[in-house]
Copies of this chain bind each other. A is one copy, B any other.
């Protein structure tokens, strides 16, 4: 390397530091401007003024940069100042891990979500007292502590079965109480949040309502844990913002549920975005669960998907279980019966010698299944 290059580099080094110096003085100045503005209640950010400043700088541009590059660089510099403010805002973004550090552990009666993996299981829809008793007893004997069941069902067709409504809420609650299980059910309408809250332990926001911001705000006003499903084609960022709607209302008990996204692949109903699990766990302090049934839309790959979800760091799984899937009034293809579910649990544990499910989470598998046949 000859001297000339060395000289040029030394000069470059000096200029870099002069620029740094000016940038920092500029940032200081902006902080002062903002303080004045805040005191005098003047809008902090005025796009026209930014435009004027950029126009002015472009006019003064001697080259060799194009005017567009000058605008771009200064827009970045302006943004850095704005982000000085935003940074504080993001640090206080309520769903972010940074503002909490530790994982959120959500208490639901005697049970918890956010520590060892949990299983939430139950039928797509509450259909009858017999169905609920059958499935509640079976699941509880298998060690499941969270019972799901739809009372209000979002269906593509207005003529399909829309759920039994309020009577279903009562059936679900009674079944949960009889078997010592916490209950999860979906709420779809801001006007129904009060009613559902009365009967149910965890309020579910379905994938189709993830962008229903008024509903998110409404469940944010309750003191019930909220199981928030990712929208059918929501980005991870949008998903976190949806959670922020709930949390910003004062309710920090949000469970994030990855349930697959819509893609071109047709072998599965949705494409389980397994990467979302570690990304969400890293970005947020909230627990993350995976709904394997809705992701797959088929029964034969639920166990590997469940194992993958737990291996990726999920705090739990959601699975559709129906005593007689063939006669279910919705989603009959993807619901497990109790035998299949017991096998599913076995296949989950098989791979995990640490046996996170075994002793307390799940009763021995052989016995209860036999009783189901009795």
Contact = CB atoms under 8 A, between A and B. Distances in A.
A266 interface: yes
Contacts of A209: 211-212
A261 B265 contact: yes
Contacts of A80: 65, 69, 72-73
B47 A65 contact: no
Contact of A77 (B31, B73, B158): B73
Contacts of A159: 89, 248
B275 A273 contact: no
Interface size class of A (residues with CB under 8 A): 35 or more
Contacts of A354: 353
A33 B19 contact: no
Contacts of A265: 235-236, 261, 273, 276
Interface string A310-346: 1111000000000010111000100000000000000
A17 interface: yes
A279 B261 CA distance: 17
Contacts of A301: 275, 278-279, 282
A44 interface: no
Given A13-B53, A16-B57, 7 more contacts: A15-B26, A15-B29, A20-B74, A24-B61, A69-B84, A154-B211, A158-B241
Interface of A: 1-2, 4-5, 8-9, 11-13, 15-33, 36-37, 40, 42, 46-48, 51, 53, 56-57, 60-66, 69-70, 72-74, 76-77, 80, 83-84, 87, 89, 154-159, 188-192, 208-209, 211-215, 217, 231-233, 235-238, 241, 244-245, 248, 261-268, 271-279, 282, 295-296, 300-301, 304-305, 307-313, 324, 326-328, 332, 351, 353-354
